[in-house]
Chain A
Amino acid sequence: MPVNETAQNIFYERIQESTLDGEKLRNCLQCGNCSGVCPFGFVMVYPPSRMIAQVRANRFENILSTENIWMCVSCYACSNVCPAKIPITAGLMTVAKEELLLAGNVPSELQTALENSQRYGNPLGESPRKRADWTREILPEVKIMGKYRQPVKFLWFVGDYSSYHPRVQQISKSFVKILNALGIDFGILGPEEYSDGDSQRLAGERGLFEMLAEKNNQAFCKYEFQEIITTDPHAYNALKNEYPKLGISFPVRHYTELLFDLIESVRPLLNHPINSKVTYHDPCYLGRVNDIFNQPRQLLKEIPGVQLVEMPHNLKNSLCCGGGGGGMWLDGFQWEKAQIRLSEWRIQEALGTNVDILAVACPYETPRFEDAAKNIDKTGHLKIKDIAELLVESMGI
């Protein structure tokens, strides 16, 4: 069979350029682990291992002609389980999405989110001037760097959904209470904060990601702070792993890391018991991608009355909620193809453990799981709570 070396090599080159170890794609054994563990593998025409086979047989146009790739939620389950350590998510999937985007082949819901990110600095299409409106009634006033203009210890990178989505704003407000209770000096960028861009990057818009990173960096450079903290694992991943590749480098911790490090100060404040069975969902970008498993669990265990149980898919094997890699903005598209939502699978698993509370630590999760629970849990018993909300409840503030 004639092989078109040039086309194949160009695609390989792009994979190599964009990821460390990209050339490992050539070492694939076709073991099929990746396709087996992929949450949407069953509905893809070319799940990961078959995609690699197509690429190596120089038929990647086949892949680009299906809508397959938009089923990928960049959950890293495949990369995690690959014996040859091929960077499937960051390499193959992301680069394939980039190709599709360049060809203008993108589902309309995702297109809107990307255009909104470009125009308004957030995928929801909300006014950037209103990014800190959620802080309006809070006392003491949350320091917005553009007005405050003094150094702060921690710059809290709030994130898109935490700023604009009504349900997630509640979690942001809870976190403010915790910071104040601990006497932590912090500020936020407010209207000067742009989307971290990580999900957009994984959805194939590298140019957009770089643009957003540059804009955030302009804001970072204006103010004095010691460290960045964030309640958003996607922002955490961007700030920790991706921004430094663009020369933007600041120390960063996820809020569960921060509170765990301050656990001696947190513990005495947890006065009210929460007598519930609780299970914790490991967010993909906190757990599997960045190895933070212990800190959130320890925080939950500190709450008196909490009985922590594990779901069958936990730690590195956690089941994605379906929001990553653009999934947050492909709900209609993915539902039509799969007739199931990953968030609903996860809720079923949570229900199977007979817990009262499903604890989460990522802003995508609360709205997604609550929506899924409405469909799956007819009793309405299961509650979805961010760890920050549980801590505040236990603090009685």
Chain B
Amino acid sequence: MSQDIYVLIEHIQGQISDISAILLAAGRQLTSIHNSKLVAILLGYQSQNLINRISADHVIYVDHPSLAEFNQDAYILTVSEIIKSKQPQIVLFGNTTIGSDIAGILSISLNIELASSCSHFTQEGKIVCQICGGKIMTEAIPSSSTTLVTMVPGGYKPESNQLNFNPEIENFAPPPLNDLRTKNIRLIQPGSTDVDISKEQILISVGRGIQTKDNLELAENLANALGGVVCASRPVVDQGWMPTSRLVGKSGKHVKPKIYIALGISGAPEHVEAITNSETIIAINTDPKAPIFDIATYGTETDLFDLIDILVEKVEDAKSG
């Protein structure tokens, strides 16, 4: 068995997903333990252009029409062959609609161990996972043969591994990929009807503190800058300043974004219960006693009217710089 660390790159519609950078960062940490190689697995169809966006030592590239987009059976058959042939120490997958769909199957069919929801590795290479909504953590040791690990974001900064964008390329021949039981028909883009905030990752939420309808523009500017969506607590929706589809709260939607920025929201129980599954909550409220600070990750008493314009400018600069 080799000590190399393998990463399955996830891509959709020609874009490499964010999780892939996180997997590579984790993989890079692991390779430093045994001084081994970081190998990215890229499955695609005429997707060579993606290779130099991958920061790894080595890329195993498989090209086949059935791999143009993610296809369960095609990916399973191909990755299976790669693992059998290369016997890597660890294979990292995203704990995602792609990675999670295949890791468990490979575990059974190849009779190898699987750990899921890993947030990071220790310096010695132990697998640290989170379960029960993040309330419980586990530490585990990889097996003596290949170990599969699905990872969640949070443990590594996506840009922390920026070393090598000139990987060696190995073209790997796919196994026979006819007679697949799963077949992709088409991809459907989200409709133009209003967004479903319960599925959004970046939410800028406004409460009573926004004071007037015109001030919503501040929230909108921040949302545009971050690629997020504006939502609101009940008082704002009641005023008719935002539609009920954007209501976050007991009477509205429960959300679970990566980041929830609460502008001028006090944090009444009826609102808080709908945001507790957010990964990070940032509360901006001039009242130091606002209950929202009890559940927020970060908070500031700075007046949103003094802060947001400056913040938007800085975000725009960072994006273009």
Contact = CB atoms under 8 A, between A and B. Distances in A.
Interface of A: 109, 112, 124-125, 165-166, 331-333, 335-336, 374-375
A335 B235 CA distance: 12
Given A166-B269, A374-B208, A335 B250 contact: no
B272 to A, nearest CB: 10
Contacts of B235: 374-375
Interface residues of B, number: 11
Nearest to B252: A332
B291 A332 contact: no
A166 B251 CA distance: 19
A124 B269 CA distance: 10
B269 A336 contact: no
B269 A109 contact: no
A331 B251 contact: yes
Contacts of B40: none
Interface of B: 208, 235, 238, 244, 247, 250-252, 269, 273, 291
Contacts of A166: 269, 291
A interface, by DSSP: helix, strand, loop or mixed? Answer: helix
A331 B273 CA distance: 15
Contacts of A335: 238, 251
B193 to A, nearest CB: 18
A374 B235 CA distance: 9
A165 B250 CA distance: 14
22 contacts: A109-B250, A109-B251, A112-B250, A125-B273, A165-B269, A166-B269, A166-B291, A331-B250, A331-B251, A332-B244, A332-B247, A332-B250, A332-B251, A332-B252, A333-B251, A335-B238, A335-B251, A336-B244, A374-B208, A374-B235, A375-B235, A375-B238
A293 B235 CA distance: 34
Nearest to B239: A375
A331 B285 CA distance: 26
A333 B244 CA distance: 11
Contacts of A165: 269
A375 B250 CA distance: 18
Contacts, number: 23
Contacts of A375: 235, 238
Contacts of A374: 208, 235
Contacts of B247: 332
Nearest 7 interchain pairs by C-beta: A332-B251, A331-B251, A109-B251, A332-B252, A109-B250, A336-B244, A165-B269
Contacts of B251: 109, 331-333, 335
Nearest to A107: B251
Q: Which of B235, B252, B269 has the most CB of A within 10 A?
A: B269
A331 B235 CA distance: 12
Contacts of A125: 273
Contacts of B269: 124, 165-166
Nearest to B249: A332
A332 B233 CA distance: 12
Contacts of B252: 332
Contacts of B244: 332, 336
Q: Which of A112, A125, A332, A375 has the most CB of B within 10 A?
A: A332
A109 B249 CA distance: 10
Contacts of B208: 374
A206 B208 CA distance: 38
A225 B238 CA distance: 47
A367 to B, nearest CB: 9
A332 B273 CA distance: 15
B241 to A, nearest CB: 13
Nearest to A164: B269
Contacts of A124: 269
A336 B251 CA distance: 10
A82 B141 CA distance: 74
A125 B270 CA distance: 11
Nearest to A332: B251
A109 B247 CA distance: 13
B276 to A, nearest CB: 11
A333 B273 CA distance: 18
Q: Which of B244, B251, B273, B291 has the most CB of A within 10 A?
A: B251
A335 B252 CA distance: 12
A340 B251 CA distance: 15
B261 to A, nearest CB: 22
Nearest to A344: B238
Given A166-B269, A332-B244, A335-B251, 11 more contacts: A109-B250, A112-B250, A124-B269, A165-B269, A331-B250, A332-B250, A332-B252, A335-B238, A374-B208, A374-B235, A375-B235
B206 to A, nearest CB: 16
A375 B234 CA distance: 11
A166 B294 CA distance: 13
Contacts of B273: 125
A109 B208 CA distance: 22
Nearest to B208: A374
A331 B271 CA distance: 13
A255 B169 CA distance: 80
B238 to A, nearest CB: 7
Contacts of B291: 166
A68 B285 CA distance: 39
A171 to B, nearest CB: 15
A311 B246 CA distance: 37
